[in-house]
Amino acid sequence: MNTQHKNQQFYARVAGLSYIIFTLAGILDNFILSSTLASSEQFLSHGVFANEQHFRWGVLAEIVMFTAVTTASMGFYLALKPINKPLMQTALCFRLVEIIIGSFVVTVSMSMLALSNKTYLLNVFDAEQIRHIIVIASSFRQPASEYSWIFMGVAGIMTFYLFFKTNYIPKAWSVWGMFTYSSLIIYPVAKLLIADLPREAMFVMFPGALFELGVGCWLLIKGLDFSAYKHELPFKTELSISAEA
C-alpha cells in the first residue's frame, strides 16, 4: 500500500469512527435524554424543563454530535479528494452549512438553559412570561435542525456517489447511503410544502440511523478496498494510446 492509500485509509477510518460517535450521540439526545418543557403548572414549582439535568446532558450530546460531524466531513474530504477534488470540496461546503446551522441549534439550547437560570429576570418578567420567552426560543430548534438536513443530504449523496464509482466500499453501502441522504432532503421539503404532514412520515428516515452506524463500523473495521477501483484513463491519454497502436 503506497503512502497516498495509507493516508486515505486513515482518514476513512477517522470518518467511520466519527459516524459511530455522532449517531450514538444523536440517539442518546433524541431518545434517552430528550426533555420537554414543563407545563405551566409544573413550571412554577419545578422550573422550565421537565428534567433539567436531561436537558443539560442533551446539550452536551449535541455538541459531541456536531464535533463528530465536523471530523467526519474532513475525514471523507481527505479520503476522497484524490478521486475528485472539486466534488469533495463542494460536499465539504454543504457540510459546513449544516455544521453552522447545527451550531445555531446548540446556541439556542444553551440560551434556553441560560434564560431559565437568570433569577434577575424575575424582577422584569413574571414566571409565566419567562416560560413563554423560552418556549419561543425553543420553537427555532426543530425547524433549524430539519433545514440543516437538506445540506447534509446533498453532501452525503455526493460522498457516497464517489464511493459507488470507486468501489472502495461494497456498492450496497453506497446505494443505501444515497437513498438515506435523499430521504433527508425529501422530508424537510415535504414538511415545508405539506402543512399537515403526518408525523409518521419521519419513519422514512429511520433506515438512515442504521446506515450511518453500520457504514461507520464498516469503515472503522474494514476500511477502503483500493483493489476494486480501476483508474479511468484521461481522454487525451486514450487518444495517444490509440494513435501509437
pLDDT for the residue numbered 24? 93
Q: Where are the domains of the chain?
A: 3-244
pTM: 0.85
CA distance 168 to 222: 10
What are 37's strand-pairing partners? 49
Residue 176 has pLDDT above 80, yes or no: yes
CA angle 233, 237, 242 (to 5 degrees): 110
Q: What is the pLDDT of residues 100-117, one digit of tens each?
A: 999 999 999 898 888 877
Residues 33/219, Cβ–Cβ less than 8 Å? no
CA distance 113 to 157: 35
pLDDT for the residue numbered 102? 93
Cell of 214: 453500520
Cell of 177: 447511503
pLDDT for the residue numbered 41? 55
Window from 5-9, 74-78, 79-83, 139-143 with minimum mean pLDDT: 139-143
Residue 72 has pLDDT above 90, yes or no: yes
Q: What is the pLDDT of residues 82-93, one digit of tens each?
A: 999 999 999 999
Q: What is the pLDDT of residues 116-172, one digit of tens each?
A: 776 666 677 777 777 788 888 888 888 898 899 999 999 999 999 999 999 999 999
Ranges assigned E (strand) in 91-244: none
Mean pLDDT taken over the chain: 85
As a whole-number percent, the residues of the chain with pLDDT over 70 amount to 84
